[in-house]
Each structure stands twice: as structure tokens, then as C-alpha cells.
Amino acid sequence: MTLTLLIDLDDTLLSNDIDIFQKAYFKRLAEALQPWAPMEKFMPAMMEAVQAMLVKKTPALTMEEQFDQVFYPQIGTAKSVLIEVIDQFYAETFPELRKYTAPRPEAIKLVTSAMSRGWEVVVATKPLFPWTAIKQRLDWAGLSPDEFGYKLVTSYEKSHFSKPHPAFYAEILGCLNWPSGPLVMIGNSLEDDILPAEKLGMPTYWLHEVSSETPSRNPLSQTGTLENVLPWLEKVEMAQQTPDFQAISCIFATLQSTPAVFDSLSRSLPEEAWAHRPAEAEWSLIEILAHLRDVDREVNLGRISQTIRGENPFLPGANTDPWVRERNYAAEPARAALEGFFESRTNLLELIDGATKHELAQPARHAIFGPTTLKELLGFIATHDRTHIRQAWSAIQAAV
């Protein structure tokens, strides 16, 4: 099975002291926007908008949309007024920041070697910058997306979560169709890169000096220098560790990310592709989304609510597949089902937010699975999510 590498960008693929870089970046961007947003307005608005992206936990809205909702009202100028100025900034001024960075020959060797082996490479950078800024930094690293066939590069236009949330990583895996082969994360930040990826069961390589204070991690995980990553990857590939997505942190991240994954997969689809069935007996994207929405609304929310309250409910079986045709999901407007799924899943997430170990252990009696717990019920939903993401992938591939 193919090995999938998630790799951080700043101070991993590219030498870049992010604190110095960001200070210079904000200064130049503030100067570009000075006529519309003087410094006393710009910096508070920028800090509040960045913080809103960092703490975001719900699936609706990309990082860009979250930023826009906070930043532009704060400075009192519409985005449409500034878009040409901002585009000019990234085309003419942002390249000046290259002097704060340096390529890493060992990173170029690593990515080149990985792709020559047929491994899939994802640039999993914190998605607080637009695509043009991320692409330019990859160009500076000698790892241009124009030359390297990355499976995915995160950016604020695409991602719905940021590091250090595990949902950031779950969204990546969902957009990769939840790979069944070995998965790894490589990065320099313990808080942003290593610990969140470990919560999804991924072995990690921490670019750091080996220390006795290294936290407990996956048995395959390692700490060291960039030069030693490739031999480690070869060991991971030989181990062929099957991903295990049953930890509660992974379950929560999956439940958060699933609507976001569908949003990412469908944004560029023409309307007719939403309604395309790969075969008569199979479901279209609209039908899959409407199914997920109604199962959350009419099955999952009730079951989870009763169980988390400690009622030890009996949960009868629910045959929801016939709803697809009985309710004529195919006739719904293209994005209505997705918007409904955003709403129903957000309601579910609010219900379980902050669930304690005691609440996760609350019992229920399932007509099919027998005695179960809240944690297992949430695991069933997460598995159901992954199944339908894979089904949606097939439907989309057949439509385009």
C-alpha cells in the first residue's frame, strides 16, 4: 500500500523563522493598505481575524471566509474595494520577503526521493496564508508545485480548520479519500505538527534534538534531523502499519471535518455533476449529502442526546437507505443538502462538545450491536462518514 507523507512547510521544507517573517509580512501589508486601514485599525483587525481562524472548530466556512467575516468589517472597507490592491501586494511586494528564508537541500532531496518511490506527498502547512503566498514559499524552497506533483497543498482558500486542531489533519485525510496505507506527519513544531497528528494515530517525525522530555508517541515515531527522515520512512513503509481511526480524538476530528471535506470536494463541481449517479443503483453526491443530513437529524441526534444524558436507551435499528428515493433527494437544489448537513452536524458537535470520560462511557442498548457506549456510537458515525466520503469520491470521479 502507498505511503502518504504529510510535511510541514516553514522550518521543515523551507528555513524560515516564522516570527521574523510574519513581522515583516504584516508591516508591508499594513503599508499597502494604509489608505484604507491605518495601523491603529489594521493590526487589531488582523490579530482578531487570525485568532478567529486559529480557534475555529465548526466545519462551515473556509479559513478565508472566516478571516473575511472578521477583518473587513473591523477596518470598515469591503473586500471588493481592496482585492486589486491585495493582489498587487502579493505579486509585487510579497516576493521581497524571500530574503528572510532559505531553501534546504536536504528537503529537496527528501521530496524528490519520496516521489520517485511513488509515495504521495502533502504539504500540510498552517492555512493562514492565501495560495499565492504558499506557492511562492514553495518556489523559494526549490519545491515549486509546478514541478512537484503534490497530492494536496493546504491553503486558506481550501482548508476549514487550522493547526493545531486534529480536524485540520482529518480534513486532509478525507480529501485524500481516507487512505488505507501508512500515513506519517513530518514537522518541526511539537504543538502544531506532531501531537495533533499523533491523535489521529499517525506516526510522526519531529525535527528536533532528541530529548529525554520527548512525549509518549506512536511506537514508529521518531525524533531527529531532516537528513534521517528518509531511512525512517523506509522503515515505516516496511512496517505497513494500518491506520487506526478509533481513538476518541480521531473520532471527534472526523465528525468535525466530514462536512468540510464534502465542501472541498464539491466547490468546483458543475451543477450537473452533483446529480450524477455512477450507476442506476448507486447514489449521487446530492443523495449522499441529504442522507447524511437526515441521519444526523433523525437518528444520530436523538441517540446521542439520550445516551449522553445517562438514560441507557434502547436504540432500535434504523433503515435509512430507502429515504433516498422515498424523499426524492435527487430533486433537491445542488447545495441545499450540503448546507443542511453543515447545520445538522454542527448541532451534533455542540451536543458532544467537551464530553467527559464519564459521559463517553455512558451505556446504551443497540438493537443490532447490543450493549454499547456513547464513544462507540460516535465511532459508528465516524465510520459511516468515511464510508460515504469514499462513496462520494466514486460518484465525483464518474461525473467529471
Q: Are 200 and 229 in contact (CB under 8 A)?
A: no
Among the three residues 99, 125, 146, which one is the final residue of a domain in this structure? Answer: 99
Among the three residues 42, 67, 99, which one is the final residue of a domain in this structure? Answer: 99
Burial of 183 (0-12, 13-18, 19+ CB in 10 A): buried
52 and 9: one domain?
Answer: no
pLDDT of the residue at 216: 80
Collapse the DSSP code of 165 into the 3-class scheme (helix H, G, I; strand E, B; otherwise coil) and give the result: coil
The CATH code of the domain that includes 205 is 3.40.50.1000
Q: Are 387 and 295 in contact (CB under 8 A)?
A: no
* Alpha-helical regions (H) of 62-185: 63-75, 79-88, 105-116, 131-140, 166-175
Place of cell 514541478: 147
Predicted TM-score (pTM) of this structure: 0.96
Packing angle between helix 374-399 and helix 301-308, nearest 10 degrees?
160
Spatial separation of the C-alpha atoms in residues 400 and 272, rounded to whole Å: 10
Collapse the DSSP code of 336 into the 3-class scheme (helix H, G, I; strand E, B; otherwise coil) and give the result: helix
71 and 110: one domain?
Answer: no
Q: Are 141 and 13 in contact (CB under 8 A)?
A: yes
pLDDT of the residue at 241: 82
Distances (CA, A) of 318 to 211, 224, 362: 52, 50, 21
pLDDT of the residue at 191: 95
Its domain, for residue 40, covers 15-99
Sorted by sequence, the CB contacts under 8 Å of residue 82 that are 6+ apart come out as: 33, 36, 72
269 and 235: one domain?
Answer: no
218 and 275: one domain?
Answer: no
Number of C-beta neighbours around residue 31 at 10 A: 12
71 and 124: one domain?
Answer: no
Q: Are 14 and 101 in contact (CB under 8 A)?
A: yes
Counting the structural domains of the chain, the total is 3
Radius of gyration, CA atoms only, the chain: 22
Q: Retrieve residue 347's grid coordinates.
A: 448541532
Distances (CA, A) of 145 to 18, 37, 135, 140, 206: 21, 33, 7, 11, 24
* DSSP label at residue 143: -
Taking only the tens place, the pLDDT of each residue in 256-306 is 999 999 999 999 899 889 999 998 889 999 999 999 999 999 999 999 999
Backbone φ and ψ of 386, nearest 5°: -65, -35
Q: Identity (one letter) of the amino acid at 340?
A: G
Place of cell 508591508: 28
233 and 256: one domain?
Answer: no
34 and 88: one domain?
Answer: yes
DSSP-assigned states of every residue in 219-259: TT-EEE-GGGHHHHHHHHHHHTPPP---SHHHHHHHHHHHH
Q: Tell me the pairing of strands 370-373 and 363-366.
A: antiparallel
pLDDT in tens, the chain (400 residues): 899 999 999 999 999 988 899 999 999 999 999 999 888 899 999 999 999 999 999 999 999 999 999 999 999 999 999 999 999 999 999 999 999 999 999 999 999 999 999 999 999 999 999 999 999 999 999 999 999 999 999 999 999 999 999 999 999 999 999 998 999 999 999 999 999 999 999 999 999 987 656 678 899 999 999 999 999 999 999 998 888 898 999 999 999 999 999 999 999 899 889 999 998 889 999 999 999 999 999 999 999 999 999 999 999 989 999 999 999 999 999 899 999 999 999 999 999 999 999 999 999 999 999 999 999 999 999 999 999 999 999 999 888 7
Q: Are 101 and 137 in contact (CB under 8 A)?
A: yes
84 and 111: one domain?
Answer: no
376 and 259: one domain?
Answer: yes
Spatial separation of the C-alpha atoms in residues 314 and 55, rounded to whole Å: 37
93 and 106: one domain?
Answer: no
Among the three residues 63, 78, 99, which one is the final residue of a domain in this structure? Answer: 99
Q: Identity (one letter) of the amino acid at 72?
A: Y
360 and 225: one domain?
Answer: no
234 and 274: one domain?
Answer: no
Collapse the DSSP code of 75 into the 3-class scheme (helix H, G, I; strand E, B; otherwise coil) and give the result: helix
pLDDT of the residue at 18: 87
The CATH code of the domain that includes 264 is 1.20.120.450
